[in-house]
Amino acid sequence: MTFEDLLATWLVEQRWFAGKGRTVHDLAVVADTEIVPGDPGLRHLIVTVSHGATSDCYQLFVGLRAWLPDTLRHARIGAHDGMEMYDGLHDSALTRSLLDAILADRTVATLRFRQVSGAEMQATEGGLDSLVLTGEQSNTSLVFGEAAILKVFRRVTPGPNPDLEVGLALAALGSSHIAEPYGWVETRMEGAATVLAILSRYLRAAADGWSLAATSVRDLYATPGGRAAEAGGDFAGEAERLGVATAQVHADLAQAFGVSELDSDAIRELAEQLYRRLDMAVAAVPELSLHADKIGAAYSSLAKLIEPVPAQRVHGDYHLGQVMRTQTGWVVLDFEGEPASPLAQRRARSSPLRDVAGMLRSFDYAARHQLVTHPDADKLVPAASDWARRNSDAFCAGYAAAGGQDPATNSVLLRALLLDKAVYEVIYEARNRPAWVQIPLDSLAEL
Ligand SMILES: Nc1ncnc2c1ncn2[C@@H]1O[C@H](COP(=O)(O)OP(=O)(O)O)[C@@H](O)[C@H]1O
Ligand SMILES: [Mg+2]
């Protein structure tokens, strides 16, 4: 097998490979940089993979050893030129050089390792071992001794990286609700600076919002006939604090990136977009047509709004899986924006109520997803609605109290955004997790 064939065979098996089910026609190495010489050695590759008319770009950190220890077998790519090749991100003897290079602001050929000036993590903290975080879908993160986390993008796209851009801006404002960036790795692709990895503060002893919410929901469902407000695992205090943190993040985003208004034309255009998505969804999932009139009515109320709507930079993909509770408060992660949208749209201003809608839908999911497999699902429906409503109200109260636009007084816009999110979820679930499509459909029936 050629070097390229070996890489292609391995690549298509990886979870983060985007072209699943498609045939890889051609893999070409477009950049090859030696980061660590010798044995073990580390090479950084940028490869393009074409599937017919389209092509994707990936970066690979290829480790090289004459002899592969058992602990690295699972990361093996294959043998080439008398050396064993493997995914170098799993080898802490190699990844340490990435951390050291960032903390030393090193340039290696076309790779630039950059440290954020004034960042708290000092060069003395180099030399740490790394562990690969499990459970991620599209990127690979390395945790360095509970001090820092390096998020390595697998697929790379040229141009500004919204997560780094927002992280740097909010850190400069002193936000306590982000994991501030310590540094990054970049190169140039198609003439544009391209971010390959971001090093940030590691949140110690933190739990993600989705798991915390799920624990609260399980606790409620363990007591038949129980009410969310009386359950020992009540989440409303946390939901309210999350609302406060969200409003503070929005205020910082407004300060850092500016504000504007959507006038009545822009609002009509937004309503048109929502209609188009609804039409597409009804075509894909006919069951949705049961709710189409109700949803359409909400969109036409939106189109008739004459008051301008404030717009600013937002998170764009906001849900319980993107927030973590540390010992001192909520931290918001992953400012990449809406995954399916083009870069310009992900960085564009829109209503901050989009994020509010995202989180409220997430509360609904947290409550309902456990019913999908629960033996007493039918009896627990009222408890699920009760949990979702209680925590949504608490979140909105916290958001408004901390200076965010009161979701209750912007109900036409919020309702349209909530319905649109649920419509999007119906399409997503029908394609990816058919067993869950009932979750957004049930919510649409209730909304
Ligand atoms: N700074 C951090 N400290 C601790 N854990 C983190 C940190 N950043 C991310 N994580 C963990 O990694 C997960 C995914 O991170 P995220 O940035 O949202 O990446 P993705 O693009 O894969 O969604 C989080 O849910 C969290 O468990
Ligand atoms: Mg994420």
Place of tokens 């975080």: 133
Residue 190 sits in the same domain as residue 212: no
Could you tell me if 310 and 281 lie in one domain?
A: yes
- Report the distance separating Cα 125 and Cα 113, nearest Å: 16
Q: In terms of domains, do 399 and 264 share one?
A: yes
- Cα torsion at 268, 270, 271, 272 (round to 10°)? 90
- Pick from 183, 202, 221: which residue ends a domain? 202
| Residue 138 alpha carbon, nearest atom of ligand 1 | 22
The three-class DSSP label of residue 264 is: helix
Asked whether residue 430 falls in the same domain as residue 308, the answer is yes
Q: What is the pLDDT of residue 329?
A: 97
Does residue 161's CB lie within 6 angstroms of at least one atom of ligand 1? no
User: What average pLDDT does the structure give for the chain?
Assistant: 93
Q: Choose among 337, 302, 319, 263: nearest CA to 420.
A: 302
pLDDT, tens digit, for every residue of 333-360? 999 998 888 999 999 999 999 999 999 9
How large a percentage of the chain has pLDDT more than 90? 83
Mutate to test the pocket of ligand 1, among 133, 137, 141 (most ligand atoms within 8 A of CB): 141
Collapsed DSSP state (helix, strand, coil) of residue 273: helix
Alpha-helical runs (H) found in 35-182: 92-103, 162-172
Measured from the CA of 137, which atom of ligand 1 is nearest? 22
Q: Do 149 and 257 belong together in one domain?
A: no
Domain-terminating residue out of 202, 226, 251: 202
Is residue 189 located within the same domain as residue 233?
A: no
pLDDT at 247: 98
Cβ–ligand 1 distance for 179 under 6 Å, the answer yes
Sign of CA dihedral 101, 106, 109, 110: positive
CB-ligand 1 contact for 138 (6 Å cutoff)? yes
The pLDDT score that the predictor gives to residue 136 is 66
CA separation for the pair 279, 296 (Å, rounded): 10
Residue where one domain finishes, among candidates 180, 202, 224: 202
Same structural domain for residues 175 and 275? Answer: no
The boundaries of the domain holding residue 254 are 207-446
Number of domains within the chain: 2
Report pLDDT digits (tens) over 27-86. Answer: 999 999 999 999 999 999 999 998 877 889 999 999 999 999 999 999 999 999 999 999
pLDDT of 123 > 70? The answer is no
Structural tokens at position 179: 């994991």
Tokens of 197: 């990895």
What are the pLDDT digits (tens) for 366-380? 999 999 999 999 999
Ligand 1 pocket, mutate which of 333, 335, 346 (most atoms under 8 A from CB)? 333
Distance of CA 420 from the midpoint of ligand 1 (Å): 26
**CA–centroid distance, residue 139 to ligand 1 (Å):** 10
Query: Whole-angstrom Cα distance, residue 124 to residue 147?
Result: 12
Q: Is residue 208 in contact with ligand 1, taking CB distance under 6 Å? A: yes
